[in-house]
Chain A
């Protein structure tokens, strides 16, 4: 289940940054991707919310540092649904 979420996230990131060659692991964060600036962070979070039909709280948004964090949180939130 977590794997599936991670793969979906990968596609979102590749599409959003318009680059299929981006290497994405669980540890990938804004530090590793040049285009991942604060505006991209907003865009990505809003896209993820739409795609997975969830909503992050302020605290949750603050905690999302790398893609692994994102996948974990999406998994947790989906379980509660």
Chain B
């Protein structure tokens, strides 16, 4: 997509039909298909055409619906929603939609009415899991001041209200196209084209806009970015600490370059506060690198980083090792380094990692990263995520202590693990939903559930969802396990069981199962059944099922295991104190 910038926009306009023909000819069976609905009060054909052309390059075939001309944003009130994850909406707003046609002295609709239309639209679309991109209202070429109202003021108000609305929905992006087009030094639109062709956005602006919209659409389908791996020298501060020395590094308010790097550090600090993890990979002697990180002028402090590799190994190797330590998919990692050679090395060996071309001028680093839109989606944030850096740091301390103990049992006892079991409730359902859909390793069936399905399960008479929280002497893990239980004819069936990988090998699963057995014994339940559906990620369960004392179901049902509560194969051993509040 990036090579669009290098091509002359006029040449592109000349060749549009040729490119469209290529789109029509492309073999659709190899392409991912999506449906895009464009709603706007004026001609959007050009934008639609360019989106098709640009998306096909990323292997996406788009079927685009366009609303009728002249209806404005009011058109989409009547949209019939389809339940389809690949359904996108692009809503284009213009100041002209606010007026009776060609009458700048007469407003056609009140602000409140518009906001209500949006509210309704977002509520419904959220239920159907549609992805929405809303464009801010543009400003007119001249100021329009009515007796009691200025148009600019109205537009500011509307945009800020719609922005606030959008922030509540994770599948919604609000974006100011006019500002973006001006930044690219292209004409937004012109009045002649409006009066003659009914065209609000210029042909060149349509190309640039389509490129941006395609990026948003593409990003919606990409895995959420969770970790930013940062270089040190000339990335977080100006200069090379090993050569220039700590005192001569450019960071802080006293030099222009220092101010640039202060802003760069604060940008990453902001992303960290929003829930992304930061890590360091730097080619330096560890001692020297750490000295730079302890610099009082830094905005980012050592505690802001979940992990660090400061050594002379290849960066790809270090990133791989951080990835394993933090248990994060390579697709969720962004690598930031000023050195093109380092970027190329990582790109070659870890192609899944996102590596922005940040350029060679630090004052443009942030813009170049931001233009990729990888951090601008609302869905990168979750309450649990914002605490993550700390959790990983605590885990590291735990590991250090663990290595000091020769005896695993003594270590586990020293942790003083406490678990608390409760039934699902309104407070923990979001985390249950997250664990159900994100856990891959400790997950019996990898069955994913929608929020509504979880609510239905919870409501059923003979079913229950057990939620477990854990903490130890180092800190609080929060909610780490979810167990879906079904009771039929004095049998207990574990429909699914999942646990966060953060609490592996601490006998917490043994303790959870122990309390389940204790509970069902009281109700004279003789058998506990589980279905274990192996995947390439959940091998860990094979050993655990055996350790807990399950035996293969002798009626030879595939994947089915059974536990005899009265005469178990072995006794369950764990090192946790349990409080059962189910």
* Chain A residues proximal to chain B, CB less than 8 Å: 12, 15-18, 35, 39, 42-43, 46-47, 50-51, 55-58, 61-62
Contact A18 B17 (CB under 8 A): yes
23 pairs, CB–CB < 8 Å, chain A vs chain B: A12-B14, A15-B14, A15-B18, A16-B16, A16-B17, A17-B17, A18-B17, A18-B21, A35-B17, A39-B43, A42-B199, A43-B13, A43-B16, A43-B46, A46-B13, A46-B193, A46-B203, A47-B10, A47-B13, A47-B14, A51-B10, A58-B196, A61-B196
Closest to B190 in A: A55
Chain A residues near B16 (CB-CB < 8 A): 16, 43
- Report Cα–Cα, A56/B197, bound state, in Å: 13
Chain B residues near A51 (CB-CB < 8 A): 10
Task: Report if A42-B17 is in contact (Cβ < 8 Å); known contacts: A57-B192, A58-B192.
Answer: no
Contact B45 A39 (CB under 8 A): yes
Chain A residues near B199 (CB-CB < 8 A): 42
- Report Cα–Cα, A62/B196, bound state, in Å: 8
| 1-20 of chain B: CB within 8 A of chain A | 10, 13-18
- Report Cα–Cα, A35/B193, bound state, in Å: 21
Chain B residues near A58 (CB-CB < 8 A): 192, 195-196
Q: How far is the CB of B46 from chain A (nearest CB, A)?
A: 8
Q: How far is the CB of B81 from chain A (nearest CB, A)?
A: 29
- Report Cα–Cα, A56/B199, bound state, in Å: 15
- Report Cα–Cα, A55/B197, bound state, in Å: 15
Contact A50 B196 (CB under 8 A): no
- Apart from the given pairs A39-B43, A43-B13, 15 other A-B contacts in the complex at a CB distance below 8 Å: A15-B15, A18-B21, A35-B17, A39-B45, A42-B197, A42-B199, A43-B16, A46-B13, A46-B193, A46-B203, A47-B13, A51-B10, A55-B192, A61-B192, A61-B196
Chain B residues near A39 (CB-CB < 8 A): 43, 45
- Report Cα–Cα, A36/B193, bound state, in Å: 18
The 3 closest A-B CB pairs, nearest first, are A18-B18, A18-B17, A50-B10
Q: How far is the CB of B195 from chain A (nearest CB, A)?
A: 6
Contact with A along B275-286 (1 / 0, CB 8 A): 000000000000
- Report Cα–Cα, A50/B186, bound state, in Å: 13
- Report Cα–Cα, A57/B193, bound state, in Å: 10
- Report Cα–Cα, A57/B10, bound state, in Å: 20
Chain A residues near B14 (CB-CB < 8 A): 12, 15-16, 47
Task: Report if A50-B17 is in contact (Cβ < 8 Å); known contacts: A42-B197, A43-B203, A61-B192.
Answer: no
Closest to B19 in A: A18
Q: How far is the CB of B188 from chain A (nearest CB, A)?
A: 14
In this complex, the interface size class of chain B, counting residues with CB under 8 Å from chain A, is 10 to 19
Chain A residues near B45 (CB-CB < 8 A): 39
Chain A residues near B15 (CB-CB < 8 A): 15, 18
Chain B residues near A50 (CB-CB < 8 A): 10, 13
- Report Cα–Cα, A54/B45, bound state, in Å: 24
- Report Cα–Cα, A9/B199, bound state, in Å: 24
- Report Cα–Cα, A64/B46, bound state, in Å: 22
Chain A residues near B18 (CB-CB < 8 A): 15, 18
Chain B residues near A46 (CB-CB < 8 A): 13, 193, 203
- Report Cα–Cα, A51/B10, bound state, in Å: 8
| 489-506 of chain B: CB within 8 A of chain A | none
Chain A residues near B46 (CB-CB < 8 A): 43
- Report Cα–Cα, A17/B18, bound state, in Å: 8
- Report Cα–Cα, A62/B16, bound state, in Å: 24
Chain A residues near B13 (CB-CB < 8 A): 43, 46-47, 50
Contact with A along B124-162 (1 / 0, CB 8 A): 000000000000000000000000000000000000000
Q: How far is the CB of A21 from chain B (nearest CB, A)?
A: 14
Chain B residues near A55 (CB-CB < 8 A): 192
Contact with A along B16-51 (1 / 0, CB 8 A): 111001000000000000000000000101100000
Chain A residues near B21 (CB-CB < 8 A): 18
- Report Cα–Cα, A43/B17, bound state, in Å: 10
- Report Cα–Cα, A46/B195, bound state, in Å: 14
- Report Cα–Cα, A15/B46, bound state, in Å: 17
- Report Cα–Cα, A78/B530, bound state, in Å: 83
- Report Cα–Cα, A55/B187, bound state, in Å: 14
- Report Cα–Cα, A22/B43, bound state, in Å: 28
| 468-495 of chain B: CB within 8 A of chain A | none
- Report Cα–Cα, A78/B137, bound state, in Å: 38
Chain A residues near B43 (CB-CB < 8 A): 39, 42
- Report Cα–Cα, A40/B87, bound state, in Å: 29
Q: How far is the CB of B206 from chain A (nearest CB, A)?
A: 10
Q: How far is the CB of B441 from chain A (nearest CB, A)?
A: 53
Closest to B191 in A: A58
Closest to B197 in A: A42
Chain A residues near B197 (CB-CB < 8 A): 42
Q: How far is the CB of B202 from chain A (nearest CB, A)?
A: 8
- Report Cα–Cα, A63/B343, bound state, in Å: 56
Q: How far is the CB of B155 from chain A (nearest CB, A)?
A: 26
Chain A residues near B10 (CB-CB < 8 A): 47, 50-51
- Report Cα–Cα, A56/B193, bound state, in Å: 10
- Report Cα–Cα, A57/B192, bound state, in Å: 7
Q: How far is the CB of A15 from chain B (nearest CB, A)?
A: 5
Q: How far is the CB of B573 from chain A (nearest CB, A)?
A: 74
Which of the listed residues A43, A47, A56 has the most CB atoms from chain B within 10 Å of its own CB?
Answer: A43
- Report Cα–Cα, A42/B43, bound state, in Å: 11
Chain B residues near A15 (CB-CB < 8 A): 14-15, 18
Q: How far is the CB of A17 from chain B (nearest CB, A)?
A: 6
- Report Cα–Cα, A51/B16, bound state, in Å: 15
- Report Cα–Cα, A47/B15, bound state, in Å: 11
Which of the listed residues A17, A50, A56, A62 has the most CB atoms from chain B within 10 Å of its own CB?
Answer: A50
- Report Cα–Cα, A42/B16, bound state, in Å: 13
- Report Cα–Cα, A50/B218, bound state, in Å: 31
Q: How far is the CB of B83 from chain A (nearest CB, A)?
A: 33
Chain A residues near B17 (CB-CB < 8 A): 16-18, 35
- Report Cα–Cα, A16/B17, bound state, in Å: 6
Closest to B195 in A: A58
Q: How far is the CB of A24 from chain B (nearest CB, A)?
A: 16
